[in-house]
């Protein structure tokens, strides 16, 4: 069955999306052709290590180029954009949370959250206010002046979530964001992503954790590059 995207409800869609990598003499199909409209809410992507989950996310983000197919984000063909236009488009429409927080080490927590807003040309006072509010929302109002090295792993990851949400993106992509955290801290990070999903964002979350997957509105199972919607 082909799940045709319904533009009315779906902001993110994959059409016949695939990725084949060269491997030694041959090739490896990291993602077999996949068509899916991602509904708003939380979609969990589960599957064994090496099954193609990160490949899928990299394509949805436009970090990687598909072998076949397209990624449509709110009517825009992501890979048809020039690299520069795609970078701008990504900044305006996506938030990312990775396993490692990827914060800028020389910037404070507040400055890290401000960073995407600065790139968007938001005036200093306004972006500072928004960044402060976001840090408050993730429970880190008192850590605004700390550098990433002065934060715990969980705190840094919550800053990363605040940064991802700074421009109120339609699409949030997270690759095992709780993988390096203890379960309590992981829960807090997850709650933030869930809240975004409940607010109507399209959140795609790669996770190994069954409890996390159980909270999702939708689940995609990946096995040997083949993606199958569950339920």
Ligand X SMILES: Nc1ncnc2c1ncn2[C@@H]1O[C@H](COP(=O)(O)OP(=O)(O)O)[C@@H](O)[C@H]1O
CB of 31 to ligand X, least distance (A): 7
Structure tokens at 220: 């995609």
Do 95 and 171 form a contact (C-beta atoms < 8 A)? yes
Nearer to ligand X, 52 or 116 (CB): 52
Nearer to ligand X, 6 or 27 (CB): 27
Task: Tell me how far apart the alpha carbons of residues 194 and 169 are, in angstroms, rounded to a whole number.
Answer: 14
Structure tokens at 162: 């605040």
Nearer to ligand X, 54 or 108 (CB): 54
Nearer to ligand X, 114 or 175 (CB): 175
Task: Tell me how far apart the alpha carbons of residues 38 and 123 are, in angstroms, rounded to a whole number.
Answer: 33
Non-local CB neighbours of 94 within 8 Å, separated by 6+ positions: 61, 169, 170, 171, 172, 173
- Count of residues touching Mg ion (by CB under 5 A): 2
Helix, strand or coil for residue 224? coil
Structure tokens at 86: 């795609």
Look at residue 50 and give the partner it binds from ligand X, Mg ion, none, a contact being a CB closer than 5 to 8 Å depending on partner kind. ligand X
Look at residue 49 and give the partner it binds from Mg ion, ligand X, none, a contact being a CB closer than 5 to 8 Å depending on partner kind. ligand X
Interface map 46-85 toward Mg ion (x if CB under 5 A) = -------xx-------------------------------
Does 178 contact Mg ion by CB under 5 A?
no
Residues interacting with Mg ion, by CB under 5 A? 53-54
């Amino acid at each position: 069955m082909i799940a045709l995207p319904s533009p009315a409800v779906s902001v993110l869609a994959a059409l016949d999306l695939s990725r084949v990598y060269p491997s030694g003499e041959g090739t490896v199909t990291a993602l077999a052709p996949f068509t899916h409209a991602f509904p708003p809410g939380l979609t969990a992507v589960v599957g064994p290590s090496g099954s193609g989950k990160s490949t899928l996310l990299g394509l949805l983000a436009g970090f990687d180029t598909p072998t076949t197919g397209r990624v449509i984000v709110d009517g825009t063909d992501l890979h048809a954009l020039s690299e520069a236009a795609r970078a701008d488009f990504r900044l305006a429409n996506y938030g990312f949370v990775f396993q490692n927080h990827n914060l800028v080490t020389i910037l404070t927590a507040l400055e890290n959250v401000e960073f995407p807003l600065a790139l968007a040309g938001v005036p200093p006072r306004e972006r500072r206010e928004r960044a402060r509010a976001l840090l408050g929302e993730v429970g880190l109002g008192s850590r605004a002046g700390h550098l990433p090295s002065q934060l715990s792993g969980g705190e840094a990851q919550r800053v990363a979530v605040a940064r991802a949400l700074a421009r109120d993106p339609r699409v949030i992509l997270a690759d095992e964001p709780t993988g390096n955290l203890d379960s309590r801290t992981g829960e807090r990070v997850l709650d933030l992503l869930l809240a975004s999903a409940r607010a109507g964002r399209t959140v795609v979350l790669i996770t190994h954790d069954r409890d996390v997957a159980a909270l999702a509105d939708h689940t995609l199972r990946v096995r040997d590059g083949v993606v199958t919607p569950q339920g």
